[in-house]
Structure 1
Amino acid sequence: MYVFGIEELFWAVLVFVAIHYWRLNRNTPMTKWPVLGMLPGLLHNVSNIHGYVDLTLKQNGGTFIFEGPWLTNMNILCTSDPMNVQHITSTKFENYGKGNDFREIFEVLGEGIFRSDSHIWKYNRKLLHSIFKQGNFQVFIQKTVEKKICNYLLVFLDHASKNGVQVDLQDIFQRLTFDNICSVVLGFDPKCLSIDLPEIPCERAFTQAEDTLFIRHVKPKLLWKLQNWFQVGEEKQFIKNNKFIDEMLYSEIKSKREMRGEQKVDLLDIIINEVGDGENKIDDKFLRDTSINLLAAGRDTISSGLTWFFWLVATHPLIEAKILEEIKENLPSREHSWKDLGAKGLSKLVYLHGALCEALRLYPPIPFEHKSAQKSDVLPSGHRVESNTMIVYSLYSVGRVEEIWGEDCLEFKPERWISQKGGIVYVPSYKFIAFNAGPRSCLGKDISFIEMKMVAIAILLNYHIQVVEDHPIIPSLSVVLHMKHGLKVNLKKRSI
């Protein structure tokens, strides 16, 4: 007679427990397993992570606690409750910083504005705010964007249109915005966007680094730290990319030090010549950290927002027609181009502004944010937060809360942003949170809207965009809400 051994009995019990837990929790998005916690469910649904988290939040009243495997310290409080978001970002702002987990994952950002806390963050924000509000710096940004659109973007799209070439708009926007932000921050144009679409190593390094940063969120800290230590897996490439980016940045900083005193208006020159008083007050590490933070923000957030906006507009022809009508009504005359709108003309495009807000509401470029409680606290939802607890609020889910946006919250409706008097409807930042909320609200919000409007107007006036049939539109697994397969489109020249 066959006698079961210890190993067979162990696996039989394990399978029985697994089936038992599955039957008890098969209708629950976040099943808690013995030893492994809720990690298996998260990994199983990682390809649709934002939708999965959104569904779980809705089924738990807007807030739930993710419990990771034993001994991994992966317990996370997740929320999309707007009152919790306001509490964390504004009411009790001083109690909620980035925390150690965020700082370890995003170590590449150094002590820049997005990774720092306390007095370092305050100094960074005050410095950048003083530069952003300078009139000559704002004019410099608009002229830089305008030049890039005219001399590169429209030239490339015209070439693609004439030759019947399919275009990946996401790739084009990433190239465009990387060129723009390098020009604005560093004062040089890497020329990623040109007819032959060259592969630029520094631009590719940023993309690959983002992928690794996302993986660090779903992989136990001990594991990715070991990979980093032994330089294996994606962490090996991450180290190489960081080294390459640092070499590029320090080379530019050195060049600017040597040319100190020349009258330029890019951000690094302003810091070195007007703020830093040379090498005495601002060191190279500070300039490097400031640069990499702004390069990441200026490239990815705007390119993501534009990509989702053009997909939504291309699949909603009535909305596209209304945007075009509004643009043409505000042009000085039919003979004038989109460049003649100017800042005042851009501010009059209410429907376009509403359409951009809708795209950012549904598909925020940064889909989730980290916080960590310094002291124990109780959220408005009633959930108790212990000190050092990691908190994640889902910007993606906040944009889909029915209590804020109504039963039609999944629809693309620019009209929801327009008042009866024809102005823009004000929505508090803790509800429309694409640009974050509270003291950490995005300093470049107004600049971002100007750049997105300029690009949108230039393209829509000149081309009709049609998404390639059956092209899959799926969010990528990244810390930035890109499209996994890009946005493949065909272009048809308009007759204006």
Structure 2
Amino acid sequence: MDVFGIEEIILAVILFIAIHYWRLNRNTPMTIWPIMGMLPSFIHNVSNFYDYINSLLQQNGGTIIFEGPWLTNMKMVFTSDCMNVQHITSTKFENYGKGKDFEEIFEVLGDGIFRSDFHMWKYNRTLLHSIFKQENFQVFLHKTIEKKIFSSLLVFLDHACKKGLQVDLQDIFQRLTFDNICSIVLGFDPICLSIDLPQIACEKAFTQAENTLFYRHVTPKFLWKLQKWLQIGEEKKFSKNVKIVDKMVYSKIKSKKDQMQGEQQFDLLSILLKQSIGDGKNPIDDENKFLRDTSINLLAAGRDTISSTLTWFFWLVSTHPFVEAKILEEIKENLPSRKDNWKYLGMEGLNKLIYLHATLCEVLRLYPPVPIEHKSSLKCDVLPSGHKIKSNTMIVYSLYSMGRVEKIWGKDCLEFKPERWISKKGGIIQVPSYKFIAFNAGPRTCLGKDISFFEMKMIISSILLNYQIQVVEDHPIIPSISVVLDMRYGLKINVKKRSI
């Protein structure tokens, strides 16, 4: 008679428990497994992560507590409750910082504005706010974006139109915005967007690094840290990509310092060098590192958020011809013509584009470029939803889900409807930032909000006036799973010259 060994008995017990828990939870979206907690359910649904989280939040009153495997300390609170968000971002702002987990995951950002807390964050914010308000910088910003639109974007689209090329519009916008933000921050154009669509190492490294950052979100800390220590897998690629980006940034810092006595320049790095050197009041120990960290933060913000929003904008508008027609009519009526029959993309005319502004808000509501944000509690607290928060608890608020909350936006919350943003008097309805959270809320509200709208309106106006964007039939439109809400398969389009 055979006798079962200890291995067979352990395996049988594990299988019995697994089948038992599967039967108990097979009709629920989130199975809580022994030892592994909720992690298997999250991993199983990682391909549609943001919609999965949204469904969980809707079924659980807007807030859920995630518990990972035993002994991993992988516990966090997810919420789409706007009162919780207001509490975290404004009412109890001092109690919720980025936290240790955020700092470790986003170490690449250094001590820049998106990763720092308290004194360093206040210094970063005050410094950048003063620069953004400078008239010389604003003029430089406008000229830089306009030049890139006419010298690269329209030239490429004209070439694609004449050759009948099928184009990935998401890739074009990522190249365009990377060129723009490098010019604005570092004072040089890497020329990612040109007719031959060259592979630029620093731009490619930026994109690949983002994938690793999301990987760190859904992987137990000990595992990705082990990969980092051993320099294998995703972490090996991440280190390589960061070195490429750092090499580019540090070389520009050096060249800017060498040019300090030359002609006056208004890119952000040049202004920072003049304002931060030797003022005796800043908390900076290593000036080169400070300049590097600030540059990396602004490059990430200025490239990804705008390219993502533009991509979703043109998909939504191309599939809603009535919206496109209204935007085009508004542009023609409000942007003054120049001698060469081009429209002048100035601030005064762009500010009159109310319906375009409303459409951008609607795009950002449904497809926020940063789909989740997370904070960490310093002390114990109780959220407005009644959930008790221990110190050092990670709280994730889902911007993607908040745009789909019926209590905030109504029963038509899943519809693309720019009109919801326009008042009876024809102005933009101001929605509180803790409800419309695309630009964050409270003291950390995005400094570049006005700049972002300005750049997007310039790009959109120049494209719509000259070209018709037609999405390739049956092209799959699926959100990517990354720290930035891009399209997983890009946005394949055909370009046609618009008849005037």
The AA in structure 1 aligned to 2:139 is V
Whole-angstrom CA distance in 1 between matches of 2:338 and 2:209? 45
Whole-angstrom CA distance in 2 between matches of 1:333 and 1:295? 32
* Aligned counterpart, 1:422: 426
* Aligned counterpart, 1:312: 316
> Aligned to 2:346, what secondary structure does the other structure show?
helix
1:92 is the counterpart of 2:92: yes
Whole-angstrom CA distance in 1 between matches of 2:106 and 2:341? 43
The AA in structure 2 aligned to 1:105 is I
The AA in structure 1 aligned to 2:34 is P
The AA in structure 2 aligned to 1:155 is V
Whole-angstrom CA distance in 2 between matches of 1:280 and 1:382? 43
1:323 is the counterpart of 2:324: no
* Aligned counterpart, 1:250: 250
Matches within 5 A, 1:136-215: 136-215=136-215
Matches within 5 A, 1:294-309: 294-309=298-313
Aligned pair partner of 1:459 in 457, 463, 471 = 463
Whole-angstrom CA distance in 2 between matches of 1:392 and 1:336? 50
* Structure 2 portions without partners, runs of 5+: none
The AA in structure 2 aligned to 1:360 is L
Distance change (3 Å), C-alpha of 1:29 and 1:293: same
Matches within 5 A, 1:289-368: 289-332=293-336, 337=341, 339-368=343-372
Identical counterparts, % of pairs: 74
* Aligned counterpart, 1:228: 228
Distance change (3 Å), C-alpha of 1:177 and 1:337: farther
Whole-angstrom CA distance in 1 between matches of 2:115 and 2:133? 22
Aligned pair partner of 2:290 in 286, 295, 301 = 286
TM-score by structure 1 length?
A: 0.98
Whole-angstrom CA distance in 2 between matches of 1:107 and 1:271? 22
Matches within 5 A, 1:398-437: 398-437=402-441
The AA in structure 2 aligned to 1:267 is L
Distance change (3 Å), C-alpha of 1:63 and 1:332: same
Q: CA deviation at 1:335?
A: 6.9
Cα deviation, 1:273-325, whole Å, max 9, x if unaligned, reads 23424999761010000000000000000000100011100111111111111
In 2, are the aligned partners of 1:74 and 1:220 still within 8 Å (CA)? yes
Whole-angstrom CA distance in 1 between matches of 2:175 and 2:281? 35
The AA in structure 2 aligned to 1:368 is I
Cα deviation, 1:136-183, whole Å, max 9, x if unaligned, reads 111111111100000000000000011000010000000000000000
Whole-angstrom CA distance in 2 between matches of 1:288 and 1:96? 26
Distance change (3 Å), C-alpha of 1:337 and 1:123: farther
> Aligned to 2:41, what secondary structure does the other structure show?
helix
* Structure 1 portions without partners, runs of 5+: none
In 1, are the aligned partners of 2:76 and 2:395 still within 8 Å (CA)? yes
Whole-angstrom CA distance in 2 between matches of 1:175 and 1:367? 21
Distance change (3 Å), C-alpha of 1:381 and 1:278: closer
In 2, are the aligned partners of 1:257 and 1:278 still within 8 Å (CA)? no
Cα deviation, 1:345-403, whole Å, max 9, x if unaligned, reads 11111111011011111000000001000000000000000000011000100111100
1:265 is the counterpart of 2:269: no
* Aligned counterpart, 2:472: 468
1:445 is the counterpart of 2:446: no
> Aligned to 1:355, what secondary structure does the other structure show?
helix
Cα deviation, 1:423-448, whole Å, max 9, x if unaligned, reads 00000111101011110010000000
More moved, 318-327 vs 39-48: 318-327
Distance change (3 Å), C-alpha of 1:338 and 1:304: farther
Q: How many residues align?
A: 496
Q: CA RMSD in A?
A: 1.5
The AA in structure 2 aligned to 1:152 is S
Whole-angstrom CA distance in 2 between matches of 1:273 and 1:122? 19
> Aligned to 1:260, what secondary structure does the other structure show?
coil
* Aligned counterpart, 1:274: 275
TM-score by structure 2 length?
A: 0.97
Aligned pair partner of 1:371 in 363, 366, 375 = 375
